Amino acid sequence: MTGGPGAAVRETHVGVVVLLGDRAYKLKKPVRTAFCDFSSAELRRAALDRELALNRRLAPDVYLGTAEVTGAGCAEPVLVMRRMPDDRRLATLVADGRDVTADLRRVARLLAAFHAGARRSAAIAAEGGRDALRERWRRNLDELEPFRDGPLPAAGPATVRRLAMRFLDGRGPLFARREDRVVDGHGDLIAGDVFCLDDGPRVLDCLDFDDRLRFVDGLDDAAFLAMDLERLGAAAAAQRFLDDYAEFAGDPAPAALAHHYVAYRAGVRAKVACLRHAQNGDESAAADARAHLELAATHLRRGAPRLALVGGLPGTGKTTVAGLLADRTGAVLLSSDRLRKERAGLDPATPAGSDYGTGLYDPAHTADVYTELLHRARELTGLGESVVLDASWTDAGWRARARAVADEACAELVHVRCVAPPVVAAGRIRSRRRSASDATVAVAEQMAATADPWPEAVEVATDGPVEDSAAHAERAWADSVAPLRDPGGPPGRG
């Protein structure tokens, strides 16, 4: 819609909007498509009545009512709307480089309040659950298949399919906890339909042709706008918007779920762009399709839950690297040293008074600690969290069990082995104060003598700047999921 008093007409393949003064008049074309039937005046009137009722939920002062245009012996139903100023459209503000931080925070508050009062039911929850989401992914990706050799990269849809289904397969517990978050939402929230007015935002044009596509997790609804903001080059604003939405909605969802929903929405837009390209050969649509598919793959990679084993001998800096890796990635950090003391009822800094292989460090206690570490990791990854496990991991048998847990949870397993010159490690051990670790130099030497080879690990040297070590571990984390690649072409972003 265009601001100002001048008259204008905007047309889509199913409708026409006439702009006159401070009003906008929307009519449906007499067409029948795969997703709508407006072939009679009665059907068009019912569709406009439905559009009015649904959109009044978010913008009651914009959707004013319905009327009829009469003449030549016929009456055509029309939706009457308050005209929005085009220069206050969110997409325009972002394109102009305006600071939309405050506006987006108001949109987040509005959306969270809308979701809090939105309609819920068992049927609605089912449409927003894991199985329904899997089916929507499947249909969308199936429709992308004809475009694998143009305009999309050949391996693109398959890569997105593999990552999306792997996430869904391992996240049963997460989606089971989200049932009460599924609402009758907006369903099509893009920056072009949000207007940032002085008295607050107006959100228009919800999805009205298929109820099931509007029955979504609230975070999924918000992710559509985040995806569109990122497409417009405002990735930081998109993340702030999601953070604000989570705050106002009181939503503890893991970051991985937001990444997944952004990816899904980007996949849908990739399909729409492919269809547009197929209809008219528009090269901008081809580029748009590739960019959206790349965006989907990037978010699926970022959101893939990881189980990171950060190990090494005493004094090699594994606890420091594990903590920094967890901080950088937002993962949950679990420590074998702390868990060992916790299960013994000791303060972490209280010495256990045990030699290598005895007391709290005998095989039975060690098995108990590793079993519990992996149990907690399995529960957390099922809920969409990534986990960093800080332990020595010198026993190949326990690493094999970690692999089994990662496989069961459909999580990526990351191996990081911290190494340092013996003299450096010994110096660190001797200088420790109030540490959860009880290892001595003698214990470190005994562990080195019995450690199994760890050929699959990325070795991270820790005798240099600690930030370099953390960055090396973070690269191993990122590389655990391959980027989207077009065979014979350049690597995708990631």
Tell me the domain boundaries of the chain: 8-82, 86-303, 306-479
The confidence score (pLDDT) of residue 329 equals 97
pLDDT above 70 (res 326): yes
* 135 CB neighbour count, 10 Å cutoff: 11
The confidence score (pLDDT) of residue 448 equals 96
The amino acid sitting at 325 is L
pLDDT above 90 (res 382): yes
The confidence score (pLDDT) of residue 359 equals 81
Find tokens 């326990």 and name the residue: 398
d(CA 308, CA 318): 12
Q: Using alpha carbons only, give the angle 64, 66, 67 rounded to the nearest 5 degrees.
A: 125
CA distances from 264 to 136, 228, 330, 473 (A): 9, 12, 22, 29
d(CA 223, CA 51): 22
d(CA 308, CA 415): 6
Q: How confident is the model at residue 1 (pLDDT cuts 50, 70, 90)?
A: very low
pLDDT above 50 (res 232): yes
The two tokens of residue 176 are 């089971």
The confidence score (pLDDT) of residue 492 equals 35
- What are the tens digits of pLDDT across the range 427-451? 999 998 878 788 899 999 999 999 9
Query: What average pLDDT does the segment 157-169 reach?
Result: 97
Residue percentage of the chain with pLDDT more than 90: 85
Residue percentage of the chain with pLDDT more than 70: 97
d(CA 377, CA 409): 9
Backbone torsions φ then ψ of 161, nearest 5 degrees: -60, -45
Query: What average pLDDT does the segment 30-35 reach?
Result: 84
The confidence score (pLDDT) of residue 352 equals 77
pLDDT above 90 (res 348): no
CATH 3.60.15.10 for domain 306-479:
no
Asked if residue 297 lies in contact with residue 227, where contact means CB atoms within 8 angstroms, the answer is no
Closest CA to 392 of 417, 423, 359: 417
d(CA 238, CA 243): 9
Q: How confident is the model at residue 172 (pLDDT cuts 50, 70, 90)?
A: very high
Q: How confident is the model at residue 493 (pLDDT cuts 50, 70, 90)?
A: very low
Domain 8-82 belongs to what architecture? 2-Layer Sandwich (3.30)
The two tokens of residue 155 are 């391996």
Backbone torsions φ then ψ of 182, nearest 5 degrees: -85, 125
The confidence score (pLDDT) of residue 191 equals 98
pLDDT above 70 (res 379): yes
d(CA 365, CA 312): 19
Q: How confident is the model at residue 323 (pLDDT cuts 50, 70, 90)?
A: very high
Q: How confident is the model at residue 101 (pLDDT cuts 50, 70, 90)?
A: very high
Q: At what angle do helices 130-144 and 255-280 cross, to 10 degrees?
A: 30
Query: 324 in the Ramachandran plot: left (φ > 0), alpha (ψ -120 to 50) or beta?
Result: alpha
pLDDT above 50 (res 5): yes
Q: How confident is the model at residue 284 (pLDDT cuts 50, 70, 90)?
A: very high
Q: How confident is the model at residue 280 (pLDDT cuts 50, 70, 90)?
A: confident
d(CA 97, CA 94): 5
d(CA 457, CA 396): 11
d(CA 283, CA 287): 6
pTM of this prediction exceeds 0.85: yes
Query: What average pLDDT does the segment 181-207 reach?
Result: 97
CA distances from 49 to 52, 186, 250, 302 (A): 5, 16, 33, 42
- The answer to which of 97-101, 189-193, 332-336, 339-343 has the lowest mean pLDDT is 339-343
- What are the tens digits of pLDDT across the range 444-482? 999 999 999 999 999 999 999 999 999 999 999 999 997
182 forms beta bridges with 217
pLDDT above 70 (res 53): yes
d(CA 94, CA 234): 7
Query: What average pLDDT does the segment 206-220 reach?
Result: 95
417 forms beta bridges with 311, 459
Q: How confident is the model at residue 221 (pLDDT cuts 50, 70, 90)?
A: very high
* 299 CB neighbour count, 10 Å cutoff: 27
81 forms beta bridges with 24, 63
pLDDT above 90 (res 410): yes
The confidence score (pLDDT) of residue 167 equals 98
pLDDT above 70 (res 259): yes
The confidence score (pLDDT) of residue 484 equals 58
Asked if residue 44 lies in contact with residue 37, where contact means CB atoms within 8 angstroms, the answer is no
The two tokens of residue 322 are 């594990």
Topology adopted by domain 86-303: Aminoglycoside 3'-phosphotransferase; Chain: A, domain 2 (3.90.1200)
- Average pLDDT across the chain, whole number: 93
